[in-house]
Structure 1
Amino acid sequence: MSGYITSRVLSALAIICFALAAADFFRERHGAFAIEQTPLFYCLFGFAVYIAVIFIARGLRRLTLRPEDYYGAEATDQEDERVAGTEEARNA
């Protein structure tokens, strides 16, 4: 059932996107620059920026990624294996 709903939603989204893209050919444009008057300019520009953000994020990830053991064995985010509410957890 979930796959059916997902495919219906994606199909509806695709139809809406194509309808809006087609409508762009029939409206009058008043852009500040000549390139803005090209049909589908904002669609293509948005897609190009989307792709650029992905590649920029991949590059930034390489700059900020740290090894898994960056903070060492004494990191404070290690999980406590004791079960909450047990005697062992209360005595700690």
Structure 2
Amino acid sequence: MRPATAPVVSVVTLLALGFAAAVAQAVLLREAMAAIGGSELAWGSVLAVWLAGIGAGEWLGARRGGASLAAFGPLAVMASTGAAVVLVRAA
């Protein structure tokens, strides 16, 4: 890979991850609203868990950091999102 294309690949990757995170949040919000009854509690619960997850990820990244953790970050997000949808449906 040429050095000139590396920033383009990084931007595309970040945009794809941001899009996937937005879709995951919308799916989780929809599932929580169906499980809780479509109230403000559903909105608040999903947003609180989402922000807590972001904070936990930042904390873990700051403590452990490095390329090995960054490589598995998107995979962990996908797996935890799938698990969250299953848990919300089971509730």
TM-score by length of 2: 0.39
Q: Considering only CA atoms, is the larger Rg found in Structure 1 or Structure 2? A: 1
Which structure is richer in relative contact order (CA contacts within 8 A, separation 6 or more)? 2
TM-score by length of 1: 0.39
Q: Which has the higher helix share?
A: 2
